[in-house]
Amino acid sequence: MFIMLMLLTIASFTGLQGWMTLFNNFAVEKANFDGFNMGFTQSIREIPGFLALLVVYILILIREDRLAVLSIFTLGVGIFLTGFFPSFLGIVFTTLIMSFGFHYYETVNQSLTLQYFEKSKSPLVFGRLRSIAAVTSILTGIVVYFLTKYFDYKTSYMILGSFVMFIAFVTFFMDPTDKSKPVQTKKMILRKKYWLFYLLTFLAGARRQIFTAFSVFLLVKKFEFSIQSVALLFFVNNFINFLISPLIGKAVNTFGERKVLSLEYFSLIFIFLTYAFTPNKYVAAFVYILDHVFFNFSMAIKTFFQKIAEEKDIASSMAVGFTINHIAAVVLPVLGGMLWLINYKIPFIAGAFLSFTSLLAVQFIKRYENL
């Protein structure tokens, strides 16, 4: 199972990193995006995450590992098509296809990791997969850097999409299932005892979407980062995450979820305020890297859930969790885009407020630490 998840993670982050590295410049240069266009597209991108609860019902028809492969293939198709539609509506359309693939894979990936690895191992596996994702993103950033020197956007997207679809084809012939694992509930589950997991997941999704929609857009729009500068920033960012991600998994085991998440949310308050008020592009790039490092701490929300959950609820709860994570995600980017037109600082100040709220909420984990 780890080998299959590793290969699919490589495909997923090759596609995502390549798409992200090209996207802001592609959108601005080819489709003349402004803040509202960007916010609207990012909201559309999160609709598949909001619909992740449908995974529960798809699993009635198809095994989780098969759905993971199909999702990665869909991701590849969306990326392959992106360069063919350099317009606002075209980008919205291809983004939606790509996003269904990425979000459904992430839902199943988290579910399989929690099912197949015991509680002391799952943080380490999450950390290792994040490290693999970072190294993949580094290599993808290098490839994209040179692709853009010799090819146009259309060809670059075609090359990236083809690679993602190829890995999906290879993994289609693997069967990593273990028949002894508990049969997962094939319906939507909402339990009162999971309330804190739901709340933390919602808040994490809300603040994450502000980062996803506007952090790189800020660098491109305000500080005029070129596509090569964005690729270089991603390279440095992912190299740091490659080194740090396995340590975060160990930190979750050593210090516990509450302390790790408290450090994340406390730090994010200042990171978002720096986005809002710094006049320096190098400071903005530095806090972008810090933001990405702290995002990896969010694995602790899932490992916290694993400790309080019934085993048969994992697949359903990961799907429901993804939907909860994306409730705000569907609304916040487009709302943030409108606020951006008033003052670009407003979305980032809202991110600082959400981080403070998360810091307060995570203290309730203490109730479960002695169970």
State the pLDDT at residue 263. Answer: 92
State the pLDDT at residue 256. Answer: 85
The span from the CA of 243 to the CA of 313, in Å, is 33
Determine if the pTM surpasses 0.85. Answer: no
State the pLDDT at residue 329. Answer: 67
Q: Give, for all 371 residues of the chain, the pLDDT tens digit.
A: 889 999 999 999 999 989 988 887 888 888 877 777 877 887 788 788 777 778 878 888 888 889 999 999 999 999 999 988 888 888 889 999 999 999 889 888 888 888 888 877 888 888 888 889 888 888 888 888 888 888 888 899 999 999 999 999 999 888 887 776 666 666 677 778 888 888 898 888 888 878 777 888 888 888 888 877 877 887 788 788 888 888 888 888 888 889 999 999 999 999 999 998 988 988 988 988 888 888 888 888 888 888 887 777 777 777 777 778 777 766 777 777 788 888 888 889 988 999 999 999 999 988 776 55
Non-local CB neighbours of 193 within 8 Å, separated by 6+ positions: 308
Assign 32 to helix, strand or coil. Answer: coil
Which three-class secondary structure string do you get for the chain?
Answer: CHHHHHHHHHHHHHHHHHHHHHHHHHHHHHHCCCHHHHHHHHHHHCHHHHHHHHHHHHCCCCCHHHHHHHHHHHHHHHHHHHCCCCCHHHHHHHHHHHHHHHHHHHHHHHHHHHHHCCCCCHHHHHHHHHHHHHHHHHHHHHHHHHHHHHCCHHHHHHHHHHHHHHHHHHHCCCCCCCCCCCCCCCCCCCCHHHHHHHHHHHHHHHHHHHHHHHHHHHHHHCCCCCHHHHHHHHHHHHHHHHHHHHHHHHHHHHHCHHHHHHHHHHHHHHHHHHHHHCCCHHHHHHHHHHHHHHHHHHHHHHHHHHHHCCHHHHHHHHHHHHHHHCHHHHHHHHHHHHHHHHCCHHHHHHHHHHHHHHHHHHHHHHHHCCC
Tokens of 193: 């005892």
Q: Where does the chain show beta strands of DSSP type E?
A: none
**Domains of the chain listed by start with CATH number:** 2-368 (1.20.1250.20)
State the pLDDT at residue 24. Answer: 78
* CA dist 307 → 8, 61, 300, 312 (Å): 26, 29, 11, 13
The span from the CA of 314 to the CA of 320, in Å, is 10
